[in-house]
Structure 1
Amino acid sequence: MVNLAFSATRLITYEDCPFMFYKRVIKKEENGQTLPLALGSATHLAIELILKGVSKYDAVVKAFREYEIDELKIKDIMDLVDNAPYQQFMRAAIEIEKKFRLPLDETGEYEVTGVIDVADTKGYFLADWKTNRKVYTPTDTRQLALYAWALGEMQGKREILATLYFLRFYKQQRQSHLFTYWEMQEARIWALKLTKEINKKNQLIKMFEGTPYEESTLKANFPAKPSNRCSHCPFSVECFGMFSDFS
């Protein structure tokens, strides 16, 4: 059986709630596009197009049409784009939406995937656009450290300057951190550990698929973690029905 590869955001989802991860990532069950996801995706696309030479207006309109849902407004996309300091990257030697799929160990048995919003072609820095309402530092999660490790692997660098740009704020909020070699390696080891764990559990569930033990195996290996996220989770009804021991 081929091992599954995951992005940093997917691995963070697993840490937050294994059951939601299983439903969303392993089973690929989604209940359509939400406004936060549509707005975030549209904003990323608009900035990508601008950096590729498309006019701001045309880029925003195209992004709106790509992710259009009832609640999404062109003005909301434009407001976030206006808060992005894309001008400073216009003449820089960068790669936009740089995709990667890299082995996490020497055998190449386990891999990690991802997309870096802006990456220096020589591997000195990267940037990540954020459209959520909460400001945090690059070291609060392992996402940026793993991006830095990936860029370092591809460009042969042992230190990467990574910056988060929070576009919800009128005065654009920026949080930067220079990731060292050891910080990047810690992120790789974290990703490797979780990827191994998830694949082992998924293979176990597949062994009992279609048997009376399927549900109990799922509950034991991908348990729910109740939190304030439950009110927005599309799987909450099924979750509360399955996990009856919530207190």
Structure 2
Amino acid sequence: MNALFDLSGRTAVVTGARRGIGLAMAEALAVAGADIVGVSARLEATGSEVERRVRAAGRRFTALRVDLADRAAVRRLAADLEDLGPIDILVNNGGTIARAPAAEHPDEMWDHVIEVNLTSQFVLSREIGRAMVSRGRGKIIFTASLLSFQGGINVPGYSASKSGVAGLTKALANEWAAHGVTVNAIAPGYIATDNTQALRDDPERDRAILARIPAGRWGRADDLAGVTVFLAAPASDYVNGVVLPVDGGWLGR
């Protein structure tokens, strides 16, 4: 394996690893050589799809079930991760979305999305990042969104949280780059996952979205695999504070 992309001997934590983009990220990191700690609110203790794929790549897998909406549980997760040994790569992918027009968007919906998508990711990054800074190396990767750049429709909490992720990426990079810790984000385009099922089920929205994507198709979760490995590997050691779109050309349209 090319040393620039070799993750042998590394341990990577991937939140939201049970399905979709997180599953693809975890598998890609394992194929590149990393052992995986998968985190999800409904992750099976044994026998999950992500465990099967990681073990098929010849790597170790640890499953942790954590509700990212529970701040105390996120703090406990950080402590549990410290007990597992040094974390080399943290992929903050776990997230949620709630759809309702802004004028009808309840506080509870807003609070839940912000807690899962932004606050939990800051708390986990702060705790794991502190140890990375002390060791003088580490990789933190956030999953941002096209709505880190745009406003979206009927998802004010999601848009605000993903804009916050973009800002947090830059803020942490500013503080930690000099200590050997790179902090970057991936902004997926319209990917065919559960989060976008409502859009794909709406013929009008589906047609409008496809017409805007130069690549002419919805993205697949495994379209995020290569960029995840790049941002986790030595190849990206001088890449800091970047929000990298993987969108089939959407933002360039």
Q: State whether TM-score is above 0.5.
A: no
TM range (shorter): under 0.3
TM-score of the pair, normalised by structure 2: 0.26
Of structures 1 and 2, the larger Rg is shown by 1
TM-score of the pair, normalised by structure 1: 0.26
